[in-house]
Amino acid sequence: MKSRWLACHGGVTFSKPDGLAGRCAEAVRGANDAVQAVTRLEQDGSFNCGLGSNLTIDGRVECEAGIMYSDGRFGGVAAVEELATPILLAAALANNHASIHGLVAPNFLAGARTAEYAKISGITLWKPEELINQRRRESWVRAKRKLGAATQGVTLEGSLDTVGAVELSISGPGVACASSGGILLKQPGRVGHCPVWGAGVWCEQGPSTSVAVALSGLGEAIVKTRMASGIADALLSMEDDDLPTETISRWIDRHFTNSKWLAQIEEDRRIAGGIILLKKKEDPPELLVFHNSPHLPVAYTNSRGKVKTVHSQNDNPSAFTFSSVIL
């Protein structure tokens, strides 16, 4: 049996994501860990992160990423303009604990000068115009045209496909990470769920259970409900006879779908989904997949080391769909 398990997702999507599950599989197959898997998705250009990022309302790329280890290390970056692989900077922040001249080392950076820290960390910087994906540019032009016509609002379709990866290991800490280009036509400086503590990613090891969560969807809704940490807490406190999918469903129904904190967000915009790795001491690990979008592409390694894909579909977008795979 393997001692390490890895899975990644290509984000909640509205149109059929032809080939995206396969691209997720390529990322998993070529990665040694969750950070490398997300880095590959950032460099792919097919996903809303890194070189495939949505554009802000003024036509620029601003990326974000977040990472959490089960031993408590955390790193987040937001609104960065010169990075194609923001997850590498988030990981650098999480792993840099050394104080400089007695100052506390940061674990979250945002804005233009974040690039200076990236350069010091040895991460490649890009010119802002080099980050613009032609397909995303065309989507931006169409969305701006609709916005200018003022006939109907711009939809969220095609703009929420944040990527993420989760990893659990018998011999080392688990990790969860996520990366995003944000929603289409977002305001410059906008921060989504990826780099926010407890929102987009969570990884924790309890006395008998380990869990790693990576989410995708509307960041504003995910942040206000602290979705990743909330779901993780529910799974870590399950009774022995509780089913993980039912536990997640109950949490979502109470704390997301019917949350009082989301009263200002239209119901049809409360989109979320993600993947979870769950491992109890005596049981094989379980991959949990859930979303209320039409599609969520996923890839993972099973206990024999084989890379598998899941193209999770939801024919009833007004409700969440749940599935699980024993690895």
Q: Which residues are known to be catalytic? A: 162
Asked if residue 276 lies in contact with residue 211, where contact means CB atoms within 8 angstroms, the answer is yes
Euclidean distance between CA atoms 256 and 267, whole angstroms? 10
Asked if residue 64 lies in contact with residue 179, where contact means CB atoms within 8 angstroms, the answer is yes
3-state secondary structure the chain: CCCEEEEEECCCECCCCCCHHHHHHHHHHCCCCHHHHHHHHHHHCCCCCHHHCCCECCCCCCEEEEEEECCCCEEEEEEECCCCCHHHHHHHHHHCCCCECCECCCCEEECCCHHHHHHHCCCCCCCHHHHCCHHHHHHHHHHHHHHHHCCCCCCCCCCCCCEEEEEEECCCCCEEEEEECCCCCECCCCCCCCCCCCCCEEEEECCCEEEEEEEEECHHHHHHCCHHHHHHHHHHCCCCCCCHHHHHHHHHHHHHHCCHHHCCCCHHHCCEEEEEEEEECCCCCEEEEEECCCEEEEEEECCCCCEEEEEEECCCCCCCEEEEEEC
